[in-house]
Amino acid sequence: MSLAASALAQTAPQPAAILPVNAFGTLPTFTDPHLSPDGTHLAAIQVYKGRPVAVIYDLKAAKGTLPAIVDSPEWVVTGVRWIKPNVLMLVVKNGLTALDSHLRTWVRGVLVDAQGKNGRVMMQNEHTVDNNPYAARVVDILPDDPDHFLTALFRYHVINGQVSSIGNQPFYYDLLQVDVKTGNTRMLQEGGEETERWLTDGHGKVLGRLDHSNVKKLDRLFLNSTSGLHESGRFDASGDNEAEIASLTEDGKALVRFKQNEKNYATLVRRDLQTGEETELYAAPGYDVDRTLTDEWSGRVIGAAYIGDKTEYHYFDPARQALQRGLEQALPNESVGIVSIDASGQTAIVRLDGGSHAPIYLVLDRATHNMRPIARPYPELTDVALPEMKIYNYAARDGLKIPAYLTLPLGKPAKNLPLVVMPHGGPDARDALGFDWWAQFLANRGYAVLQPNYRGSSGYGYDFTQAGLRQWGLKMQDDISDGVKKAIADGIADPKRVCIVGASYGGYAALAGAAFSPDLYACAVAVAGVADLPAMLRTEHKETGQDSWSSGFWATRIGSSDDNWDQLTTTSPARHADKIRCPVLLIHGENDTTVRIDQSERMESALKDAGKTVQFIRIPGEDHYLNLTGTRVLLLTETEKFLAKNIGN
């Protein structure tokens, strides 16, 4: 592949220096790019006045033409997707409202034209849309129909004159057709009592549906045939098991679904539509398949991605795989992949992500083999030397291998450094080699940053996940502590200057580290962290019901108040604040519906009652996901002050 010399052209990187907080804390200026099917427009999320907004570039317009900006003070844009050449759907979050006395974040789909005008909110004719916290699904874009696409919505049914009510879920999940001109819908096919997914061929033909029962722990696949809908398969849905059907194969003859193989890694299997026979389609070497790669316009599966230490891409079509390998050869030692491609396959948007530089987006013209950068989401870091994120694996005390990454500050010997250990959230998630704005900020301030993928992290096979079940505050916490002790033993970290910092589950781990390993940490920062496990489970049961998928998931991960109350209380930091000896910083968004702010309120109260040092920063208008530039800048600013005071740099 010929790569234009300008593709990664930068001036010589400048020596390490203290950079402005905004260089790291500003929201990325360009994310989620999507080419229109005809390749004439490019939509993306950019930052305008500190908020994510949708922008649309006319690629055929004269040079210097400004993009269309689509924004509203009522929205936070979280995604964009082309439905038709002249129809773009924005996925937006639009605030909090109570549903059945429960606080919800509302997600809606907004349709605009390629000029960013004529906005219409989807499904406003549906009387039950206000009962749906999420109403922005796309089931099939119907590429052969210029006027419609398919969506799905939970709706009331009237049966024998009575409004339906099914246990804790008074809705049926129906398949609807959307008019792109108005956003209004009409019924296409009714769902069953337990329907959770609709399956189509990518061109409007309804193949069937998938039903899920939390009570029976069972998934059932129903397929359409000439004689009507019939049951085509049953799947165990207990624990972490589910049918997990992705979509159709590219040839349209089989479904693709995730399945654990004999070595307990998640693989892709091909399920023949006629016979139901399943054969392995793709398995990653020693890792779980992370996700399918799908055709943007048909929705069919064309490949798979997994995360080793960086994201790796594999395509089933030899020509597409050759393109991927060409990109990797042209840009070695990088995580590089196509994030969008037009319907003709001639123009593609490529994302480049390395461990020592911020992400870069490039446009590839496959006819000329020319590739040039179109956006650098962190522009203030373009010509700046950043430290390399390196592999730092170690063995836990019971011998389990813990994958981890270490980022060291530039210009300092790797000896006796102040250390920030930063466990990721989830916990069913993981860190990988690549740009991390939070870790790079801390390294720029002179701290070594350790990011361990403790047991229970995703991507390493079910055995690794299972090793973390019901181990919050126990073996999962030991894995983090063992990484700190490794860095101390290697002479990298100063044992008197270690702080544990994290968000969500990482926030829990920060508080648990302070409470249950008080000799190890000089300070702790918990952002939207869980502090009281029984209280969290009670909230989950109240919000979703004890028979819900969510409650069942947390029962596998943490346990339940019915069968391990003693362990839940023993591993709740808020109930052991008296053991904490280091200062604690709590940060929490007031609109967080993932981890409610009462978790941080409980922790603050417990620490104050125990006479401990605590600072609590509440962020009005922010939820769990740090959506606004102001939030991220505040987080970094306050963390920097807290670390400087307690472990120095």
Among 488, 489, 510, smallest CA distance to 497 is for: 488
Phi (first) and psi of residue 176, to 5 degrees: -125, 150
CATH number of the domain at 389-532+572-646, out of 3.30.1600.10, 3.40.50.1820, 3.10.290.10, 3.40.50.10420? 3.40.50.1820
Smallest CA-to-CA distance from 169 within 191, 194, 187 is with 194
What would the mean pLDDT of 547-561 be, rounded to a whole number?
A: 77
Arithmetic mean of pLDDT, 605-633: 95
pLDDT given at position 214: 84
Contact indicator for 434, 389 with CB cutoff of 8 Å: yes
CA distance 458 to 452: 12
SS3 for 270-318, per residue?
EEECCCCCEEEEECCCCCCEEEEEECCCCCCEEEEEEECCCEEEEECCH
Radius of gyration of the chain (CA): 25
Q: Give residue 538's pLDDT band: very low, low, confident or very high (50, 70, 90).
A: confident
Helix and strand numbers, DSSP H then E, in the chain: 11, 39
Contact 392, 404 (CB under 8 A): yes
pLDDT tens, 86-135?
999 999 998 766 555 567 789 999 999 999 999 999 999 998 898 888 99
pLDDT (tens digit, 9 = 90+) per residue, 25-59?
999 999 999 999 999 999 999 999 889 999 999 99
Structure tokens at 594: 């993932």
For the beta carbon of residue 143, count every other beta carbon within 10 angstroms. Answer: 20
Q: Which of 158, 200, 140, 149 is nearest to 177 (CA)?
A: 149
**Which among 497, 504, 505 has a CA at the least distance from the CA of 479?**
505
Find the largest Cα–Cα distance for the chain: 77
Q: Where are the domains of the chain?
A: 122-243, 389-532+572-646
Cis check for the bond before 427: say yes or no (omega within 30 of 0). yes
**In this predicted model, what pLDDT tens digit does every residue of 310-348 receive, in sequence order?**
999 999 999 999 999 999 998 888 899 999 999 999 999
**Positive or negative: CA dihedral 231, 234, 239, 245:** negative
Token couple for 608: 């104050």
Chain mean position to CA 636: 21
Residue 112: what residue type? Answer: V
Q: Determine the Cα–Cα distance for residues 500 and 585; give it in Å rounded to an integer.
A: 11
Residue 164: pLDDT over 60: no
Nearest C-alpha neighbor of 45 from the set 71, 8, 21: 71
In this structure, the strands spanning 87-99 and 76-84 are: antiparallel
Q: How far apart are CA 520 and CA 299, in angstroms?
A: 49
Q: What is the pLDDT of residue 564?
A: 81
User: What's the pTM value of the predicted model, to 2 decimals?
Assistant: 0.94
> Which of the four pLDDT bands, split at 50, 70 and 90, describes residue 552?
confident
Q: ∠ CA 23-29-31 to the nearest 5 degrees?
A: 125
What CA–CA distances, in Å, run from 411 to 316, 320, 384, 387, 556? 45, 42, 13, 9, 45
